Amino acid sequence: MLSDPVIKFEKVWKKYSKQQVLNNSLRDELVSVITGRKCREELAEGEFWALRDISFNVNRGECIGLYGPNGSGKSTILKLISNVTYPTKGDIIVQGRVAPLIELGAGMHPDLTGIENIYMNGTILGSSISELKRRIGEVVEFSGLDDFINVPVKKYSSGMYLRLAFSIAVHSSADIFLFDEVLAVGDEDFQSKCLKRLATIRAHNGTILVVSHDNAALHRICDNILNLEHGTVLQGESI
């Protein structure tokens, strides 16, 4: 394992609002980005800390598990790494291309077929059209959706969505792979196939972060587990 950090969280805090209208919090984020002004540290009415003073490093080639109850901050960490959202305070450094699979069906266009979504999502993840043409057979075979690959994905079940999305992500040329509860969806055969693919990614020095409520599964595949509760790290557990 190379001691080469590709992800660094340094004293990261992230707050959200419980309000459906995000006017003030969105305004604050835009002002802080444009002017460099720090966002207010106190919580306004309806706001809460999703992450509190989180610091950790992930080295190249490592597989890190994020474990904890709902609302503990696991998915927020993945969203920060993939730039879906930004920290309220603290610094995050990510080195390399990221392939996020953090929401089921995210990025899929319902009216496009499976094959069309492979090309669309593959390019979003940084693959060229020529790369996708070379890998298209592997992607389809891995997903097991040969008979449905030319069907619009709006007709897919949730399990079919996941199989296609996972297959696209793990066949991309990304350096960092983010998976949110991917081990909880799909049948036993597909889950086994997923675990083998994660091992292949690691063998090629890819970096993986996995969110799961299955602690036993995380122990099987991860080098380290971050146990989270109420937005804080309780402990780092070496495997």
pLDDT grade, residue 159 (50/70/90)? confident
DSSP letters spanning 130-152: HHHHHHHHHHHHHHT-GGGTTSB
With 50 as the cut, is the pLDDT of residue 238 above it? no
118: CB partners within 8 A, 6+ apart = 132, 136, 139, 140, 164, 168
pLDDT grade, residue 1 (50/70/90)? very low
With 90 as the cut, is the pLDDT of residue 22 above it? no
CATH class of 62-86+97-238: alpha beta
What is the pTM for the complete model shown?
0.82
pLDDT score at 187: 73
Work out the average pLDDT over 39-63.
87
Work out the average pLDDT over 174-190.
80
pLDDT grade, residue 4 (50/70/90)? confident
